Chain A
């Protein structure tokens, strides 16, 4: 993680520019709402695009997003809109906060509203199923913009909404994207680091979902901290192996977006991935779990694609394999754990 050098004279004008900029947030989910709230004090205007008209009316009249954070009063400069064209009009920075499953289809639809100068920062943790394309790659392919970045880190939206201290990372190949992210999101309660390893950040955010399933299963077995630490550490080693094979830097996985996010996600009992793992370990079938959740947990699809790819590439990922066998082959968690424990031990 690098910090953008601060040259006193220039950074003043830079800050002025971002302070006068217009920000559009695409997607009014929990994270999108929090990011909008976070950016609002540091720019001229934030438009929060949501599809549901009732919700938009609700947000604008009650000044809060009642479906996620009924207690958080939205900043006066946050406006919810349903019309994409209006949301994106004149925007200098666009925050993309949609789930990875709809990323490509939405990008295709929204492409014509982009002018090209926009800075695009996405906050999606996940990759396209099958093709394993990262979100920034999809956006690059579908939108007429090039200055794309990603924001990722141990950021449980609810905690940030409450104003608890936290940190995150913004990565892009373009320094100006990192600069904008730092300028818009940094506050005294929220530290924003810059980085250039986009691949690492995106894969770290994706792969930790697999381990969140594993962590859920482990907790269902009521095991102690030793087991959990073993899972996270060896799991991180797997993430690094896979990430490096995809072109990521190893050091990224030791940072906020890697180890940091892994710890936060695997400890959050509310996360969908964690719940999938928890219930799998209790013998509930995957179909049933998904039915109950109402929507697929990101980690389920990721596990399949990642395991298939790792097998083809000869990347050793025993934990991912275990999660895959538990999910799709109905193997009991106890058996998976036994097998993992029997893998010949080598130097770490």
Chain B
């Protein structure tokens, strides 16, 4: 279902042609410190409009009331289950509160929660004839909806979008100032942040319907970056769900609270909470507020592209669209726009991959690294490196999809296979009527999830570092074909040292295969890989891999290449899995689905 795969800007040559008008601006505004034409902006900049989110504050109480009412309606379909529902929630919350270690700022929240559940417990202990269960439910619902409900203050938004770009532009420019001087201003225009893909298409659709932006999630900095990217694309602000733990910092909490973030507490797993959260999300989409979900849930642990997506929140898109159509809204469509962020290095890589290996390998994985935590020094180091190195981050806005996963044209119409147009109303008609149908809608959402996984892989941009890591791992596997993953990870330093010439020839071969995949539209490759000579992109990749981590992922000296950290090598290599680019099986072998493992336990 890839219709115009080749019409995409695939390399710098294309992006440059788009940026002609902007490049001059870039040079002048850089000096004056304005951020309006950041070098990564290679698309037409439109004036930002406040969007629907700006009106959130006026309607906030109305929305929350709606959410409570709707949840109530859903939950009390079967009144006898009310007792069980409340009991489950009470039990879950008691357990959660026991484990919850509040800090200075979250103390009051814990107390509030405890007070509520004390009341519920007291009520539950008395017979239903005396204390109406419905009242108790209402109490819980209004508590949850207030906790989840986001806020938006345009003034704070304007402040933030001026401050954040300033910080970014400082990092982008100041970090590379030492490079500007010798080579002149032009060098700094080589962007650290490349936003490529369907930006104009997204900008158009944002006016024709509600956007549901679904990014891949590798690192904690994703959230900040996405906010900045949305600003650069001159789109109105988006609402997004943020972990409740992020609200424990008062400064951060202040901004989030006023920028349309709503809270998602992953530690609350009871049915009532899930319903409220889902209904809140549906409600703001219905309001026409563009939203962001990380469909994978949390950050991917193994470094690969998402191979599973969470369907709960994703399903709210369809629910909102059906509501819109039933209400006869002029712009009922919800568009799902995948977004893939490709990094050379990920700040939390070590701890993520270790989590993953411990989980997946259990007794077979022997952990001998000490804890690798997220210190602010490391974070600063990351930002500095991210923006001072010659290529940083590629963000690709994927082809927009409709709520079923069909591609969408410029006018927002869904494109079916073989030149057909899909009318969503028809797809939402069951037994002759446009309606909600829970089972059908779950299945549509499941299919959307599958499509998203496929699109994520296709919109991925392969970086030099990934290709280097993949090559390195595949040679090691060829040398030790009998070892499974967990034994391979424990190779001695001598065993994981290879002649550089062998490495280069293997890199050449894998490069050839990846370029073929790119021709088939299965992925994108970074322009360095496409245009540079073998030696040049390989050494770029090795350099990038070495920038952040204490122990080098790949190092070259005296004609040999070795790796100091096998876990990290595995992590970065995994970004190229899920494509059937097998290492042991031959090229024609059956394609494994993303997330599947081969016979030796490696992600295939």
Asked if A111 and B585 make an inter-chain contact with CB atoms under 8 angstroms apart, the answer reads: no
User: In the docked arrangement, what's the CA distance between A116 and B430, Å?
Assistant: 11
Q: Which residues of A contact B444 (CB under 8 A)?
A: 146
Q: Does A173 contact B (CB under 8 A)?
A: yes
Q: Which residue of A lies closest to B434 (CB)?
A: A117
Q: Which residue of A lies closest to B415 (CB)?
A: A144
User: In the docked arrangement, what's the CA distance between A312 and B443, Å?
Assistant: 31
Measured between C-beta atoms, what is the minimum distance from A139 to chain B in Å? 10
User: In the docked arrangement, what's the CA distance between A144 and B421, Å?
Assistant: 8
Q: Which residues of A contact B589 (CB under 8 A)?
A: 312
Interface size class of B (residues with CB under 8 A): 20 to 34
Q: Does B355 contact A (CB under 8 A)?
A: no
Contact with A along B418-457 (1 / 0, CB 8 A): 1111110011011110000101100110110000000000
Q: Which residue of A lies closest to B599 (CB)?
A: A314
- Report which of A13, A176, A313 forms a contact with B437, defined as CB distance below 8 A: A176
Asked if A17 and B426 make an inter-chain contact with CB atoms under 8 angstroms apart, the answer reads: no
Q: Does A3 contact B (CB under 8 A)?
A: no
Asked if B443 and A173 make an inter-chain contact with CB atoms under 8 angstroms apart, the answer reads: yes
Q: Does A143 contact B (CB under 8 A)?
A: yes
Measured between C-beta atoms, what is the minimum distance from B559 to chain A in Å? 38
Asked if A142 and B439 make an inter-chain contact with CB atoms under 8 angstroms apart, the answer reads: no
Q: Does A175 contact B (CB under 8 A)?
A: yes
**Do A116 and B416 contact each other (CB < 8 Å), given the known contacts A144-B422, A176-B431, A312-B590?**
yes
Asked if B420 and A111 make an inter-chain contact with CB atoms under 8 angstroms apart, the answer reads: yes
Q: Which residue of B lies closest to A139 (CB)?
A: B417
Q: Does B404 contact A (CB under 8 A)?
A: yes
Asked if B416 and A144 make an inter-chain contact with CB atoms under 8 angstroms apart, the answer reads: yes
Q: Which residue of A lies closest to B431 (CB)?
A: A17
Q: Which residues of B contact A141 (CB under 8 A)?
A: 1, 417
Q: Which residues of B contact A68 (CB under 8 A)?
A: none
Q: Which residues of B contact A174 (CB under 8 A)?
A: 439-440, 443
Q: Does A288 contact B (CB under 8 A)?
A: no
**Do A116 and B427 contact each other (CB < 8 Å), given the known contacts A141-B1, A176-B437?**
yes
Within B292-350, the residues touching A (CB, 8 Å) are none
**Do A115 and B447 contact each other (CB < 8 Å), given the known contacts A174-B440, A312-B585?**
no
User: In the docked arrangement, what's the CA distance between A313 and B596, Å?
Assistant: 13
Q: Which residues of A contact B426 (CB under 8 A)?
A: 115-117
Contact with B along A173-200 (1 / 0, CB 8 A): 1111000000000000000000000000
**Do A146 and B404 contact each other (CB < 8 Å), given the known contacts A115-B426, A141-B1?**
yes
User: In the docked arrangement, what's the CA distance between A141 and B437, Å?
Assistant: 23
Asked if A17 and B432 make an inter-chain contact with CB atoms under 8 angstroms apart, the answer reads: yes
Q: Which residues of A contact B419 (CB under 8 A)?
A: 111-112
Asked if B439 and A313 make an inter-chain contact with CB atoms under 8 angstroms apart, the answer reads: no
Q: How many A residues touch B, CB cutoff 8 Å?
A: 26
Q: Which residue of A lies closest to B1 (CB)?
A: A141
Asked if A175 and B418 make an inter-chain contact with CB atoms under 8 angstroms apart, the answer reads: no
Asked if B590 and A309 make an inter-chain contact with CB atoms under 8 angstroms apart, the answer reads: yes
User: In the docked arrangement, what's the CA distance between A173 and B427, Å?
Assistant: 15
**Do A111 and B418 contact each other (CB < 8 Å), given the known contacts A146-B447, A314-B599?**
yes
Within A10-62, the residues touching B (CB, 8 Å) are 13-14, 17
Q: Which residues of B contact A117 (CB under 8 A)?
A: 426-427, 429
Asked if A143 and B417 make an inter-chain contact with CB atoms under 8 angstroms apart, the answer reads: yes
Q: Does A69 contact B (CB under 8 A)?
A: no
Within B549-604, the residues touching A (CB, 8 Å) are 585, 589-590, 599
Q: Does A162 contact B (CB under 8 A)?
A: no
Q: Does A108 contact B (CB under 8 A)?
A: yes
Contact with B along A106-125 (1 / 0, CB 8 A): 01100110111100000000
Q: Which residue of A lies closest to B440 (CB)?
A: A174
Contact with B along A139-171 (1 / 0, CB 8 A): 001111011000000000000000000000000
**Do A144 and B440 contact each other (CB < 8 Å), given the known contacts A115-B426, A116-B426, A314-B599?**
no
Asked if B417 and A144 make an inter-chain contact with CB atoms under 8 angstroms apart, the answer reads: yes
- Report which of A17, A176, A314 forms a contact with B440, defined as CB distance below 8 A: A176
User: In the docked arrangement, what's the CA distance between A112 and B419, Å?
Assistant: 7
User: In the docked arrangement, what's the CA distance between A68 and B564, Å?
Assistant: 72
Chain A CB within 10 Å — which of B429, B431, B444, B446 has the most? B431
Asked if A111 and B416 make an inter-chain contact with CB atoms under 8 angstroms apart, the answer reads: yes
User: In the docked arrangement, what's the CA distance between A116 and B417, Å?
Assistant: 11
User: In the docked arrangement, what's the CA distance between A314 and B447, Å?
Assistant: 29
Asked if B423 and A116 make an inter-chain contact with CB atoms under 8 angstroms apart, the answer reads: yes
Q: Which residue of A lies closest to B586 (CB)?
A: A312
Q: Which residue of B lies closest to A108 (CB)?
A: B418
Measured between C-beta atoms, what is the minimum distance from A182 to chain B in Å? 14
Q: Which residues of A contact B421 (CB under 8 A)?
A: 144
Asked if A146 and B427 make an inter-chain contact with CB atoms under 8 angstroms apart, the answer reads: yes
User: In the docked arrangement, what's the CA distance between A142 and B590, Å?
Assistant: 22
Contact with A along B390-422 (1 / 0, CB 8 A): 000000000000001000000000001111111
User: In the docked arrangement, what's the CA distance between A232 and B354, Å?
Assistant: 48
Q: Which residue of A lies closest to B590 (CB)?
A: A312
Q: Which residues of B contact A14 (CB under 8 A)?
A: 431
Q: Which residue of B lies closest to A14 (CB)?
A: B431
User: In the docked arrangement, what's the CA distance between A143 and B417, Å?
Assistant: 6
Q: Which residues of B contact A111 (CB under 8 A)?
A: 416-420
User: In the docked arrangement, what's the CA distance between A174 and B446, Å?
Assistant: 11
User: In the docked arrangement, what's the CA distance between A63 and B556, Å?
Assistant: 81
User: In the docked arrangement, what's the CA distance between A13 and B427, Å?
Assistant: 20
Q: Which residues of A contact B443 (CB under 8 A)?
A: 173-174
Q: Which residue of B lies closest to A144 (CB)?
A: B416
Q: Which residue of A lies closest to B423 (CB)?
A: A116
User: In the docked arrangement, what's the CA distance between A116 and B413, Å?
Assistant: 14
User: In the docked arrangement, what's the CA distance between A173 and B445, Å?
Assistant: 12
User: In the docked arrangement, what's the CA distance between A107 and B419, Å?
Assistant: 12
Chain B CB within 10 Å — which of A107, A108, A115 has the most? A115
User: In the docked arrangement, what's the CA distance between A116 and B422, Å?
Assistant: 7
User: In the docked arrangement, what's the CA distance between A146 and B431, Å?
Assistant: 15
Q: Which residues of B contact A312 (CB under 8 A)?
A: 585, 589-590
User: In the docked arrangement, what's the CA distance between A59 and B428, Å?
Assistant: 36
Q: Which residues of A contact B417 (CB under 8 A)?
A: 111, 141-144
User: In the docked arrangement, what's the CA distance between A107 and B417, Å?
Assistant: 10
Q: Which residue of B lies closest to A141 (CB)?
A: B417
**Do A114 and B420 contact each other (CB < 8 Å), given the known contacts A174-B440, A176-B437, A313-B590?**
yes
User: In the docked arrangement, what's the CA distance between A144 and B415, Å?
Assistant: 9
Asked if A112 and B430 make an inter-chain contact with CB atoms under 8 angstroms apart, the answer reads: no
Q: Which residues of B contact A92 (CB under 8 A)?
A: 432
Q: Which residues of A contact B437 (CB under 8 A)?
A: 176
Contact with B along A298-316 (1 / 0, CB 8 A): 0000000000010011100
Q: Which residue of B lies closest to A112 (CB)?
A: B420
Measured between C-beta atoms, what is the minimum distance from A132 to chain B in Å? 8
Measured between C-beta atoms, what is the minimum distance from B598 to chain A in Å? 11
Asked if A115 and B404 make an inter-chain contact with CB atoms under 8 angstroms apart, the answer reads: no
Measured between C-beta atoms, what is the minimum distance from B434 to chain A in Å? 10
User: In the docked arrangement, what's the CA distance between A14 and B431, Å?
Assistant: 7
Chain A CB within 10 Å — which of B427, B429, B444 has the most? B427
User: In the docked arrangement, what's the CA distance between A111 and B421, Å?
Assistant: 10
Measured between C-beta atoms, what is the minimum distance from A44 to chain B in Å? 12
Asked if B447 and A144 make an inter-chain contact with CB atoms under 8 angstroms apart, the answer reads: no
Q: Which residues of A contact B432 (CB under 8 A)?
A: 17, 92
User: In the docked arrangement, what's the CA distance between A117 and B597, Å?
Assistant: 38
User: In the docked arrangement, what's the CA distance between A173 and B1, Å?
Assistant: 21
User: In the docked arrangement, what's the CA distance between A17 and B433, Å?
Assistant: 11
Measured between C-beta atoms, what is the minimum distance from B194 to chain A in Å? 32
Given A107-B418, A111-B416, A314-B599, list of 12 further CB < 8 A pairs?
Answer: A111-B419, A112-B419, A117-B427, A117-B429, A141-B1, A143-B416, A144-B418, A144-B422, A146-B444, A173-B446, A174-B440, A313-B590
Provide a sorted-by-A list of 15 A–B residue pairs whose CB atoms are within 8 angstroms: A107-B418, A111-B416, A114-B420, A115-B426, A116-B426, A117-B426, A117-B427, A142-B417, A143-B418, A144-B416, A144-B420, A176-B431, A176-B437, A176-B439, A309-B590
Q: Which residues in B have some Cβ–Cβ distance to A below 8 Å?
A: 1, 404, 416-423, 426-427, 429-432, 437, 439-440, 443-444, 446-447, 585, 589-590, 599
3 residue pairs, one from A and one from B, having the closest CB atoms: A144-B416, A116-B426, A111-B418
